[in-house]
């Protein structure tokens, strides 16, 4: 079920009524059932997968907590990790690795006929398996107690606002809130509604309006001028940000209406002054997951410069692969790994705020521009259907002809995004709009709601649903 | 990378805790802030919604029909429903899917007037609309259109849809009244979301008409952008080097200062009956002239303060030399005696509100004005291409050919057509059923087959069963090069059809007494 669908417009009020209005002992059970309905509407068969993963991790965590024998603890950890990674690997990567292996064998002259299954990818599998794995690892590390309350644990895994595209919440943050979940206060309702309005505006009024032009340009990059290719790259950078951060805002807003605070997933990433800072602001729940469960266990920055570069590169390559079974995502991750390693080598990446004085401001602005373009360059690999198509795109781009074809669209969309982001950046709060006087908020809400009514009927899927 | 944090501290109180007095005050404050911000916004939206029909339809539609057919259909239908009929002039309404583009109401009205039959002629066209949709529309929202004569322009494709109730096309759903549509077709709408969509549209005008409002907003923004970018118009526009003009043109007042001499071609009057020319400047309208005789004419330009640099001339129609037997595919207006020397490079008129945006129909000739064998070659290339157009028209061909030996069962859209005609007849309107022209390139492949013969027999049967109803088969009256595809005629083909439609309507108008709404 999409947040921007008619079905969700029916679903949400019913869920809010039930989850906030039923007697306390029934509320979370109702919310769990609603979350399963939310997921099952897409394909009920994959509910079994979700429930199975939930059951295995619940059981493994309890067993780990119940014993102090290291071998037994490790066995149950491996059971959980093995189950999750097998499920993820089969549904997401089986065909990819079989085809890539066959291509490799063919390249060295060995005949190979790949046995692919055309496996359907269950929506949100990457998100909920990562969340569930993190919980078992935390219990194994002794950082979290094992949860005995199956109902609330299942709810935390299946919690519908974040189920299909994150944020990838940590159990330590989510479970206590679900266990103590109260009816939302007026303040939280206002925050929730405001976040939903901002999120829908980003999705429907920016991302969805840019989508047709992005599709047109990325479908036939060989037929486009450099100006149009530049336009396509800028527009996609804005589209994916509007789409994904819009989704996260809506998810957080909906969750506020249920009395649960989800973590921020984005903090104005395109105002970053380095790629290192970009990754502190882009898809925060994934980047922090990769840091805590991959980069640091690999050794982090504790074993010298070259090991640090290797760890950065490995983390970003796996982060790229997490997005999908395609070499384009690997290339995107690799490019970011390279950026991060180079920045670390050069000692870049500590700045946060725009500097003081004209020179400082200009220097910070220049860094923001450079960082945005580096990220945009990497997005070309992310969006292109194949490495070959990405190379065609880049080849056309560096011809630098007809640059005027870029037109006003990306700049207008960028300015619109800046109107949303800059107050948040300067105030450090996602809810900066709540500080505006009511006579400013009110026409803003009315205007955005009207615009959403006008443009909201197309039900364009969120990009991150495919991951 | 760092852990994320919220903006506001989390609620610490358990679910059923009793709030303390200070907390209650804070809660009241938060609740007040929320209502202050949201209540006016919701009230403003509610006000816009309930008053929608009082303000929206007064906003001029800035673009031509093809920019948004649904918007045009509803605008035209609403104008017909809310404008009282003239007691002494019958109202003629031609209705149909995209094939109804062959019927130019202005041309037919002009030809009828020239022949002594006054009529108020209109057209309601929506691509993809079927008899079942039309029947639903005229039983509900369209009841007040109250035509005295109905021209139903039909093509066999309108009937080749066995599951018509389920096939509610988005552009058709836009024009149908949502509540009756839900009542009548709810059982056939497969998803809850589809039903909820109609239910929501039946209670909210903003939701129901959001596509129209969006078109209007976008059109106004585009016009504002053009206005911001364009400077004051100084150059003329809209004429060719040989002195012929387009339907709309502007000449420098300095050149027309002594008077504008122009020629009304006899073929124009033969095609249209009469021509109305509007002369204006930046200061406003100067004169509106009706021309009913051919030949050279003269317009004296009076001195007007604030006139600006241009004299604007707009005709209510264009004429086609090709339709008059000449080898010229242009759509033309008058011919100028003194062709202004300034380069006629600009084709678009200066920004005015509402703008005079007309498509130049000669630029819409898909076959580029080809004739004979060259036409066939070009058509075959387009049809075979791996394009949306090629795929669509190959599918149309397959649909017609697949049905040609099938028995015709008069259910589905056939039954709906009969109900539609019956409804008009019961309201006292005369009905003219027309099997509209089709390209011989396809027609020869099925015209003699059982299904097509049964289709024509069915239409003739409806005409025989329903009072005040006639059926005419115009299926084969146009040559192939008057078509843009299998069944959509070019503007030249439409001009050729005008006199036929007018001739068919003339006897009906004599018999038609204006019906009561």
Residues pairing with B154 in the sheet:
B435
Residues pairing with B335 in the sheet:
B244, B263
Looking at the complex, report in whole angstroms how far the Cα of residue A436 sits from the nearest Cα belonging to chain B.
Answer: 10
Distance of CA B49 to the CA centre of its chain: 26
- B231: cis peptide before it, omega within 30°? no
Residue of B nearest to A11 (CA): B193
The H or E element spanning position B299 is strand B295-299
Which chain A residues contact residue B30 at CB under 8 A? Answer: 185-187, 190
Confidence of residue B17 (pLDDT cuts 50, 70, 90): very low
Q: pLDDT tens digits, residue range B141-155?
A: 999 999 999 999 999
Both structure tokens of B363: 């630029």
Both structure tokens of B40: 């006016």
A429 and B217 in contact by Cβ < 8 A? no
- C-alpha span between B265 and B322 (Å, rounded): 13
Confidence of residue B12 (pLDDT cuts 50, 70, 90): very low
Lowest mean pLDDT among A320-324, B324-328, B345-349, B477-481: B345-349
pLDDT at A424: 84
pLDDT at B121: 96
pLDDT at B65: 80
B15 and A288 in contact by Cβ < 8 A? no
Which chain B residues contact residue A185 at CB under 8 A? Answer: 11, 27, 30
At a CB cut-off of 8 Å and minimum separation 6, what does A204 contact? A4, A246, A451, A452, A455, A456
- C-alpha span between B273 and B294 (Å, rounded): 11
Burial of A200 (0-12, 13-18, 19+ CB in 10 A): buried
- C-alpha span between A139 and B223 (Å, rounded): 63
Residues of A noted as catalytic: 323
The answer to whether the CB of A207 falls within 8 A of the CB of A456 is no
Q: Is the pLDDT of residue B11 over 80?
A: no
Nearest CB partner across the interface for B1, out of A291, A449, A455: A291
Chains A and B form CB pairs within 8 A to the count of 123
The DSSP bridge pattern shows strands B430-435 and B469-473 to be parallel
Which chain B residues contact residue A181 at CB under 8 A? Answer: 15
pLDDT at B233: 61
**Across B147-168, average pLDDT:** 80
**Across A188-199, average pLDDT:** 90
Burial of B329 (0-12, 13-18, 19+ CB in 10 A): buried
Q: Is the pLDDT of residue B5 over 90?
A: no
Lowest mean pLDDT among A358-372, A449-463, B173-187: A449-463
The answer to whether the CB of A464 falls within 8 A of the CB of A244 is yes
The answer to whether the CB of A184 falls within 8 A of the CB of A257 is yes
> Counting every residue, how long is chain A?
467
Looking at residue A287, the DSSP 8-state letter turns out to be H
ipTM surpassing 0.90? no
Confidence of residue B2 (pLDDT cuts 50, 70, 90): very low
At a CB cut-off of 8 Å and minimum separation 6, what does B181 contact? B136, B168, B173, B198
Q: Quote the mean pLDDT of chain B.
A: 86
Measuring CA to CA, how many Å separate A343 from each of A296, A312, A337, B347?
19, 11, 10, 55
Percent of chain B's residues with pLDDT above 70: 89
Percent of chain A's residues with pLDDT above 90: 54
Residue of A nearest to B196 (CA): A6
pLDDT at B349: 66
The DSSP bridge pattern shows strands B91-96 and B469-473 to be unpaired
- C-alpha span between A467 and A165 (Å, rounded): 8
The answer to whether the CB of A135 falls within 8 A of the CB of A171 is yes
Q: Is the pLDDT of residue A164 over 90?
A: no
| B351 vs B456, more confident | B456
B3 vs A: CB within 8 A:
yes
CB-facing half-sphere around the CA of A77: CA atoms within 13 A: 17
The answer to whether the CB of A284 falls within 8 A of the CB of B4 is yes
The answer to whether the CB of B458 falls within 8 A of the CB of B469 is no
pLDDT at B120: 95
A442 and B48 in contact by Cβ < 8 A? no
Q: Where is mean pLDDT largest: A166-175, A241-250, A420-429?
A: A241-250
Question: 3-state DSSP: chain B helix, strand, coil percent, rounded to 5?
Answer: 50, 15, 35
The DSSP bridge pattern shows strands B310-315 and B275-281 to be antiparallel
**Across B194-222, average pLDDT:** 92
Residue among B2, B5, B10, B70 with most chain A CBs within 10 A, to mutate: B10
Which chain A residues contact residue B48 at CB under 8 A? Answer: 450
Q: How big is the CA angle at B489 (ends B487 and B492), to the nearest 5 degrees?
A: 165
E-only strand ranges, B83-209: 91-96, 120-125, 149-154
pLDDT at A353: 54
Q: How big is the CA angle at B142 (ends B140 and B143), to the nearest 5 degrees?
A: 70
Which residues 167-196 on chain B approach chain A with CB closer than 8 angstroms?
Answer: 191-194, 196
**Across B386-396, average pLDDT:** 89
The answer to whether the CB of B417 falls within 8 A of the CB of B462 is yes
The DSSP bridge pattern shows strands B237-239 and B245-252 to be antiparallel
- A167: cis peptide before it, omega within 30°? yes
Please, what is the angle between helix B131-139 and helix B178-185, to 10°? 120
A457 and B6 in contact by Cβ < 8 A? no
B386 vs A: CB within 8 A:
no
**Across B203-218, average pLDDT:** 93
B44 vs A: CB within 8 A:
yes
Residues pairing with B289 in the sheet:
B277
At a CB cut-off of 8 Å and minimum separation 6, what does B154 contact? B96, B99, B417, B433, B434, B435, B436, B459
The answer to whether the CB of B52 falls within 8 A of the CB of A454 is no
Confidence of residue B436 (pLDDT cuts 50, 70, 90): very high
pLDDT at B164: 54
Lowest mean pLDDT among A57-66, A378-387, B200-209, B395-404: B395-404
The answer to whether the CB of A371 falls within 8 A of the CB of A278 is yes
Both structure tokens of B362: 């000669």
pLDDT at A181: 86
Residues pairing with B252 in the sheet:
B310
Q: Which of A143, A147, A136 is nearest to A73 (CA)?
A: A136
Q: Is the pLDDT of residue B197 over 50?
A: yes
The answer to whether the CB of A53 falls within 8 A of the CB of A87 is yes
Distance of CA B77 to the CA centre of its chain: 11
Q: pLDDT tens digits, residue range B273-308?
A: 999 999 998 888 999 999 999 999 999 988 888 878
Determine the 3-state secondary structure of B367 from DSSP. Answer: coil
pLDDT at B19: 46
Four-CA torsion B73, B74, B77, B81, nearest 10 degrees: 180
pTM for the model stands at: 0.81
Q: pLDDT tens digits, residue range B222-271?
A: 888 888 877 556 678 889 989 999 999 988 887 766 789 999 999 999 99
Q: pLDDT tens digits, residue range B77-94?
A: 999 999 998 888 999 999
Neighbours of A84 (CB within 10 A): 22
Which chain B residues contact residue A191 at CB under 8 A? Answer: 7-8
pLDDT at A356: 67
> Counting every residue, how long is chain B?
517
The DSSP bridge pattern shows strands B295-299 and B260-264 to be antiparallel
Sign for the CA dihedral angle at B227, B230, B235, B239 comes to negative
A10 and B196 in contact by Cβ < 8 A? yes
A441 vs B: CB within 8 A:
yes
B214 vs A: CB within 8 A:
yes
Lowest mean pLDDT among A212-226, A330-344, B26-40, B375-389: B26-40
B18 vs A: CB within 8 A:
no
Which residues 188-207 on chain A approach chain B with CB closer than 8 angstroms?
Answer: 188-191, 193
A288 and B4 in contact by Cβ < 8 A? yes
A392 vs B: CB within 8 A:
no
Phi/psi-derived region of residue B266, left when phi > 0, alpha when psi is between -120 and 50, beta in every other case = alpha
Sign for the CA dihedral angle at A400, A403, A409, A412 comes to positive
At a CB cut-off of 8 Å and minimum separation 6, what does B328 contact? B321, B322
pLDDT at A438: 87
Which chain B residues contact residue A183 at CB under 8 A? Answer: 15
- C-alpha span between B252 and B262 (Å, rounded): 15
The answer to whether the CB of A138 falls within 8 A of the CB of A220 is no
A446 vs B: CB within 8 A:
yes
**Across A19-24, average pLDDT:** 89
């Amino acid at each position: 079920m999409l947040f921007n669908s008619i079905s969700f417009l029916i679903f949400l009020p019913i869920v809010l009524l039930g989850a906030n209005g039923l007697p306390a002992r029934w509320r979370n059970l109702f919310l769990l059932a609603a979350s399963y309905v939310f997921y099952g509407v897409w394909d009920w068969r994959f509910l079994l997968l979700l429930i199975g993963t939930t059951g295995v991790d619940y059981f493994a965590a309890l067993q780990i907590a119940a014993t102090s024998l290291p071998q037994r603890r490790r066995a149950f950890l491996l059971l959980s990790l093995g189950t999750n990674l097998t499920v993820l690997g089969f549904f997401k990567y089986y065909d990819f690795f079989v085809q890539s292996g066959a291509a490799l064998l063919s390249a060295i002259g060995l005949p190979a006929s790949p046995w692919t299954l055309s496996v359907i990818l269950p929506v949100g599998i990457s998100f909920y398996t990562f969340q569930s794995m993190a919980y078992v690892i935390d219990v194994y590390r002794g950082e979290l107690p094992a949860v005995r309350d199956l109902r609330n644990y299942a709810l935390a895994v299946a919690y519908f606002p974040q189920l299909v595209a994150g944020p990838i919440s940590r159990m330590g943050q989510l479970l206590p809130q679900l266990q103590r979940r109260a009816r939302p206060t007026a303040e939280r309702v206002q925050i929730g509604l405001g976040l939903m309005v901002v999120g829908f505006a980003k999705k429907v009024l920016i991302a969805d309006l840019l989508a047709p032009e992005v599709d047109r340009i990325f479908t036939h990059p060989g037929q486009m001028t450099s100006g149009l290719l530049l336009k396509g790259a800028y527009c996609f950078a804005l589209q994916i940000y509007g789409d994904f951060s819009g989704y996260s805002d809506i998810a957080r807003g909906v969750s506020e209406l249920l009395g649960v605070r989800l973590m921020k997933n984005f903090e104005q990433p395109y105002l970053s002054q380095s790629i290192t800072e970009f990754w502190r602001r882009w898809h925060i729940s994934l980047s922090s997951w990769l840091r805590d469960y991959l980069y640091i266990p690999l050794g982090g920055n504790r074993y010298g410069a070259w090991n640090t570069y290797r760890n950065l590169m490995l983390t970003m390559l796996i982060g790229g692969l997490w997005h999908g079974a395609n070499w384009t995502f690997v290339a995107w991750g690799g490019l970011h790994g390279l950026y991060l390693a180079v920045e670390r080598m050069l000692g870049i990446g500590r700045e946060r705020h725009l500097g003081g004085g004209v020179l400082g401001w200009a220097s910070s602005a220049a860094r923001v521009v450079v960082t945005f373009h580096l990220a945009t360059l990497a997005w070309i690999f992310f969006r292109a259907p194949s490495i070959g198509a990405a190379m065609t795109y880049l080849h056309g781009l560096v011809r630098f002809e007809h640059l005027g074809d870029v037109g006003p669209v990306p700049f207008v969309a960028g300015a619109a995004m800046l109107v949303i982001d800059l107050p948040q950046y300067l105030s450090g709060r996602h809810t900066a709009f709540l500080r505006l006087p009511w006579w400013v908020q009110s026409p803003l809400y009315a205007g955005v709601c009207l615009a959403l009514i006008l443009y909201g009927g197309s039900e364009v899927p969120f990009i991150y649903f495919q991951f | 990378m760092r852990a994320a944090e919220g903006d506001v501290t989390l609620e610490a109180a358990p679910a059923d805790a009793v709030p303390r007095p200070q907390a209650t005050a804070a809660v009241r404050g938060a609740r007040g802030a929320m209502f202050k911000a949201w209540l006016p916004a919701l009230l403003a939206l509610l006000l816009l919604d309930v008053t929608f029909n009082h303000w929206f339809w007064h906003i001029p539609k800035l673009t031509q029909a093809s920019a948004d057919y649904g918007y045009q259909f509803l605008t035209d239908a609403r104008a017909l429903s809310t404008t009282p009929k003239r007691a002494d002039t019958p109202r003629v309404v031609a209705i149909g899917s995209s094939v109804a583009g062959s019927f130019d109401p202005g041309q037919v009205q002009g030809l009828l007037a020239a022949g002594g039959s006054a009529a108020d002629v209109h057209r309601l066209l929506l691509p993809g609309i079927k008899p079942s949709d039309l029947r639903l529309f005229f039983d509900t929202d369209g009841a007040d259109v109250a035509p005295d004569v109905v021209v139903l322009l039909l093509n066999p494709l309108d009937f080749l849809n066995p599951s018509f109730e389920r096939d509610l096309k988005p552009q058709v759903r836009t024009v149908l009244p949502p509540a009756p549509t839900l009542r009548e077709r709810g059982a056939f709408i497969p998803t809850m979301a589809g039903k909820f969509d109609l239910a929501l549209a039946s209670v909210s005008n903003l939701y129901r008409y959001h596509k129209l409002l969006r078109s209007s907003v976008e059109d106004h923004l585009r016009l504002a952008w053009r206005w911001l970018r364009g400077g004051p118009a100084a150059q003329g526009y809209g004429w060719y080097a040989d002195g012929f003009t387009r339907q709309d043109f502007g000449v420098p007042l300095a050149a027309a200062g002594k008077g504008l001499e122009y020629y009304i071609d006899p073929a124009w009057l033969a095609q249209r009956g009469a021509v109305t020319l509007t002369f204006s400047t930046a200061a406003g309208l100067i004169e509106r002239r009706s021309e009913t005789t051919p030949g050279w004419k003269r317009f004296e330009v009076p001195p007007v303060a604030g006139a600006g640099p241009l004299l604007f001339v707009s005709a209510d129609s264009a004429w086609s030399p090709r339709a008059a037997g000449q080898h010229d595919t242009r759509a033309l207006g008058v011919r100028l005696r003194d062709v202004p020397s300034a380069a006629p490079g600009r084709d678009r008129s200066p920004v005015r509100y509402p703008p005079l945006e007309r498509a130049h129909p000669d630029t819409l000739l898909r076959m580029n004005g080809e004739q004979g064998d060259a036409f066939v070659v070009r058509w075959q290339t387009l049809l075979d291409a791996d394009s949306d157009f090629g795929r669509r028209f190959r599918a149309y061909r397959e649909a017609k050919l697949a049905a040609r030996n099938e028995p015709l069962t008069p259910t589905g859209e056939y039954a709906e057509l009969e109900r539609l005609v019956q409804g008009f007849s019961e309201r006292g309107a005369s009905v003219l059923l027309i099997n509209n022209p089709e390209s011989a390139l396809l027609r020869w492949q099925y015209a003699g087959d059982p299904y097509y013969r049964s289709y024509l027999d069915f239409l003739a049967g409806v005409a025989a069963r329903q009072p005040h109803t006639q059926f005419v088969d115009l299926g084969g009256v146009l040559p192939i090069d008057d078509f843009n595809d299998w069944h959509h005629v070019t503007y030249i083909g439409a001009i050729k059809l005008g006199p036929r439609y007018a001739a068919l309507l003339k006897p009906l108008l004599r018999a038609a007494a204006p019906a009561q709404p």
